[in-house]
Amino acid sequence: MTRDHIWQQIEQLLHGATREVLLVAPFIKKETFQAVLAAVPATVERVQCVTRWSVAEVAAGVSDPEIAELAEADGRVEISLCHNLHAKLYAADDRCLVGSANLTGKATGRVPATNIELLIEAELAHAEVRRVLDAIDLAAVPGTVELARQIREQADLVRDDEDAPQMLVIAESETAARWLPETRNPERLYRVYNGRHRNVASDVLAGVLRDLVHMDIPPGLSEQDFGAEVLSRLRLLPEVRTLAENGTLNLDEAKSALIDGSLHTPDQAQRAVETIAKWLSYFDEVYLVPVGPWEIRQGKEIR
């Protein structure tokens, strides 16, 4: 078996396409994507590509959002993003290959030190293949050139930040890193997520980006959907869980828990719970009790 056996399988499949091509891979590198497009016959009018872009993964170099520019130049290619994508599938008309190989040099064997990968032939009409494609259809958003540039710009900023989380492959680990909100400016999160950070101070921007990397929110969301994603992650924090369970969150108790359960100093714990309170006030329907115990309560304040 040759080093580029996987690439030969993909190339042979693509050469046989007559109507349309489907490419599904979480990680796609620009050079391999160029070779894929070159292997698709000129008579094929439609190439669908499904992948995923996250700031941390792009910063780590495992995926290139610049494939959007290649797609635009080709004219036949439509890119969609599916944030929880893990499947790898390549189809030409009614034939397809499924397995483990991404569209990268190491996965396809187009560079030295290749991965050990597997692709096997299946029918596009297979029930499990259709199940995966239906799930992708429900979750996918357009992968535009503008969004690709935003992801790249943020990835470059994160890569240059010595304090940024070092994550090679997002969501592959069963245990996520412990996260607490860092930025004191939750109103900046959606702006930066959307690539609008020209007027954000560098120290504020660094904290916002670190929070966005930790939360790993799918790209391309509306502000309302983005806020819902942020809130779902806030509610997973042990310090916030009692708010959902009891309708109240005693911030002094949350502060004590941070001091007892970690290396937080009293000052660090105080700042952490104040930041949590800011985020909850911005993303949730809560209010701060002005007298008595320092606590947040679920719902609207009665005046």
pLDDT at 292: 62
Spatial distance between the Cα atoms of 156 and 162, rounded to a whole number of angstroms: 12
Cβ-Cβ contacts under 8 Å for 39 (sequence gap 6 or more) = 10, 11, 14, 15
Q: Confidence class of residue 302 from pLDDT cuts 50, 70 and 90? A: very low
Alpha carbon dihedral 255, 258, 263, 264, in 10-degree steps, equals -30
Biggest CA–CA distance in the chain, Å, is 75
What are the start and end residues of each CATH 3.30.870.10 domain in the chain?
5-147
Q: Do 202 and 214 touch, CB atoms closer than 8 A?
A: no
Torsion of CA 248, 253, 254, 257, to 10 degrees: -140
Please state the rounded mean pLDDT for residues 93-116.
94
Strands (E), 174-242: none
DSSP 178: P
CB 265 within 8 A of CB 259: yes
Q: Is 37 exposed, middle or buried (0-12, 13-18, 19+ CB in 10 A)?
A: buried
Task: Tell me what the mean pLDDT of segment 35-51 comes to.
Answer: 97
Q: How far is CA 46 from the centre of its chain?
A: 26
- Between the alpha carbon of residue 50 and those of residues 38, 79, 106, 136, 257, the distances in Å are 18, 6, 19, 8, 43
Q: At what angle do helices 30-39 and 67-74 cross, to 10 degrees?
A: 20
**pLDDT at position 293, please?**
63
Which strands, in side-by-side order, build the sheet including 46-51?
Answer: 119-123, 95-99, 88-92, 20-24, 46-51, 77-81, 141-142
> Residue 288's closest CA among 238, 245, 237, 299?
299
Mean pLDDT computed over 87-92: 97
Sign of CA dihedral 184, 282, 208, 241: positive
Q: How many other CB atoms are there within 10 angstroms of residue 267's CB atom?
A: 8
**Rounded distance between C-alpha atoms, residue 260 and residue 292, angstroms:** 24
Name the residue with higher pLDDT: 136 or 56.
Answer: 136
What rounded mean pLDDT belongs to the chain? 87
d(CA 286, CA 303): 14
Sorting pLDDT into bands at 50, 70 and 90, what band is 1?
A: low
pLDDT greater at residue 261 or residue 191: 191
Across the range 39-66, mean pLDDT stands at 95
For residue 25, what pLDDT is reported? 98
Q: Which residues contact 290 (CB under 8 A, 6 or more apart)?
A: none
For the cut 50, the answer to whether the pLDDT of residue 167 exceeds it is no
Choose among 159, 280, 164, 141: nearest CA to 218. Answer: 141
* Distances in whole angstroms, Cα of residue 14 to Cα of each of 95, 150, 189, 215, 284: 10, 31, 41, 37, 49
Backbone CA torsion sign across 170, 176, 178, 182: positive
Considering the domain 5-147, what is its CATH architecture?
2-Layer Sandwich (3.30)
For 88, phi then psi, to 5°, come to -125, 125
